[in-house]
Every structure is written in C-alpha cells, then in structure tokens.
Amino acid sequence: MKQAVEQEVNKIYCENCIDTMARMPSEFIDLTVTSPPYDNLRTYNGYSFDFEKVASELFRVTKRGGVVVWVVADATIDGSETGTSFKQALYFKSIGFNIGDTMIWRKSNPFNWGSNYYYPQCFEYMFVLCKGTPTRFNLMRDRAIINAGKQFYQTRRGTDDRMEYDNKKVTLAEVGKRYNVWDIAVESQPEHPAPFPKQLASDHIISWSNAGDLVYDPFMGSGTTAAMAVRNERNFIGSEISQEYCDIANERVRRECARPRQMNLGYEQESNLARGTTAADGEGRRGMMNE
C-alpha cells in the first residue's frame, strides 16, 4: 500500500506529467485545462509524450463529475489532415470519459493562410470530456438576445411529430447562454511557440469549476492555466517537462499573485480562499497525494 505524503499544490512541477499524476490519489483533480503538443505542429523543445498513458492517468485522477478540457488541432501531412484530434477524443471515450461537448475555438486573428486547394484554417477543437455528469457548470451568459423582452408561447413537438403550443407565456431575457463556438484572439509570446490565450483558459476555468477547486494542466507551457486559476480564486497544479518553460510559467504566476485581488468579469463573488504561491517562492497550500 502506498504511503500518503504531503505534496504542494499551487506549484508547477518540472517533470513529465505522468510522474506528477503517479503521486496523486484517484479522483483528486476537479478540472484539467490543457493543450498538448499535437502532431508536428509544436516541437515543444524536442519533447514528446505518450498520449494513452496520459489519458488513462487523467481519467484516474479526475474526480467523479470533473471535466478535462482538451484543446487540439491536426497537422496536414501529404495532403491530408491527420485526424489525431478525433482519434484522441474517441480514445478518451473508450476509457470512460463522456464527450460532453465538441467546442470550437475560432481564432479571430488566424495566422494560417491555408493552401491553394482549401480554405484557411482558423479554429481548434476544444473537447469537453466529463467523468460522468459535470458537477460544476457555471455557463457563460453573455450572448445578446435579438428579440429581448418579446413574449411568446412555448412549443414542443408532439407524438405525431407536429408542433404543439403550451399555455405558458415566456419572456425572452436580455442575454442567453454563450454558444459553443468561442471567438478569441491568438496571443503570441517570443518565449513559447503556442501560448494559451488568457481568456480561453479563464473562461473554461470559470465554466467548469468553483472557487477553491483544484485545476491541473499536464502541459503547462508558459503558465496561462496556472495564472488564470490564481486570478479566478482556484488552486492549481502544473506539470512541465521543459525547465525553460517552467521558469517562464513560474514568473507569470508570481506576477499574477502580486496583482490586486479581484474576481474576473464579475461572474463570481470574492471568496476567502487563501492564495498559494509559486514553486519559486517555496510556499503553497499543501494537499495530500500518494507517493
């Protein structure tokens, strides 16, 4: 039997994510938000990863009702897209995750101009993978309703496949739930080939977790997920195999921790969560893992 030891959270571990997850007990993580190196689009300082091992460990460490947001795209090789994104989503499903949603990140400022044969590429997939039914769902409501204030009677499809009207009158609200295609600009950093946009990470963290929850990124890169977890009053754990990227990520988290505390966009009220610090600070809220 493995012996339980104290293990810092609010820390980025400079190691293979398999090693980090191996120390976690089962059903430990509330939410994972990540974008792994995919195909040959991101060399990631020469490192590669074993997808199936990572996927299996993510299923084990994710809490029942927890979510993994897996952001991926496909390379085009010899005239064909690889289809790696769909293969990975189907593998996640085969080991027990539900594919709760296939969301689209539509890049409002794409840099890919395509080829002479196809339209320019301007999106990536965001697979929302659920271990059961999500227990946290703070869905964004920022879509303006065109006919806000208009009243109408609800309809439903009857057993004969014809539309039927209810007696209940409904008034359209000012705003509705955001659709699952998100328009977010690409961000660039000289130190990292493909940094997460801050808004993309933040909006997923808000959507699928609550204040005080534990957010994980197995491919932390330049630290966007950790920084946005701090900004939104969540705890975090990160894994990053490149020391260069670990240093960048820790500095970003340090700067985020130094900012005046305020909740992002008013979606949630301030909490009393004690904020952790980065690995560089040598401190952090401590949690229990298995060695």
Does pLDDT of 284 surpass 60? no
| Domain locations in the chain as residue ranges | 4-140+178-290, 144-176
Judge contact between 213 and 268, C-beta under 8 A.
no
Closest Cα to residue 33, out of 219, 186, 191, 286? 219
Per-residue model confidence as pLDDT tens digits over 206-258? 999 999 999 999 999 999 999 999 999 999 999 999 999 999 999 999 999 99
pLDDT category, 114, cuts 50, 70, 90?
low
Question: How do 151-157 and 143-144 pair as beta strands?
Answer: unpaired
Residues 58-73 have a mean pLDDT of: 97
Q: pLDDT > 70: what percent of the chain? A: 79
Does pLDDT of 159 surpass 80? no
Judge contact between 228 and 201, C-beta under 8 A.
yes
| Token pair belonging to 99 | 């594919």
Query: What is the predicted pLDDT for the residue at 109?
Result: 86
- More confident: 287 or 250: 250
Distances (CA, A) of 126 to 67, 89, 149: 12, 10, 33
Does pLDDT of 266 surpass 50? no
Residues 24-52 have a mean pLDDT of: 80
Measured distance CA(3)–CA(47) in Å, rounded: 31
User: Residue 285 forms beta bridges with which residues?
Assistant: none
Query: What is the predicted pLDDT for the residue at 89?
Result: 98
Query: What is the predicted pLDDT for the residue at 170?
Result: 82
DSSP string, 36-98: ---TTT--GGG----HHHHHHHHHHHEEEEEEEEEEE---EETTEE--HHHHHHHHHHHTT-E
- More confident: 179 or 78: 179
- More confident: 157 or 277: 157
Classify residue 205 as exposed, middle or buried by CB count within 10 Å of its CB (0-12, 13-18, 19+): buried
Judge contact between 131 and 65, C-beta under 8 A.
yes
Query: What is the predicted pLDDT for the residue at 152?
Result: 77
Q: 4-140+178-290: which CATH architecture?
A: 3-Layer(aba) Sandwich (3.40)
- More confident: 44 or 124: 124
Question: How do 98-107 and 181-184 pair as beta strands?
Answer: parallel
Q: How far apart are the first and last CA of the chain?
A: 10
Neighbours of 52 (CB within 10 A): 11
User: Residue 152 forms beta bridges with which residues?
Assistant: 170
Judge contact between 14 and 243, C-beta under 8 A.
yes
Q: Give pTM, 2 decimals.
A: 0.81
User: Residue 29 forms beta bridges with which residues?
Assistant: 62
Query: What is the predicted pLDDT for the residue at 26?
Result: 96
pLDDT category, 40, cuts 50, 70, 90?
low
Range scoring the smallest mean pLDDT among 7-16, 67-76, 183-192:
183-192
Per-residue model confidence as pLDDT tens digits over 173-191? 888 999 999 999 998 765 6
pLDDT category, 36, cuts 50, 70, 90?
very high
Range scoring the smallest mean pLDDT among 61-65, 108-112, 278-282:
278-282
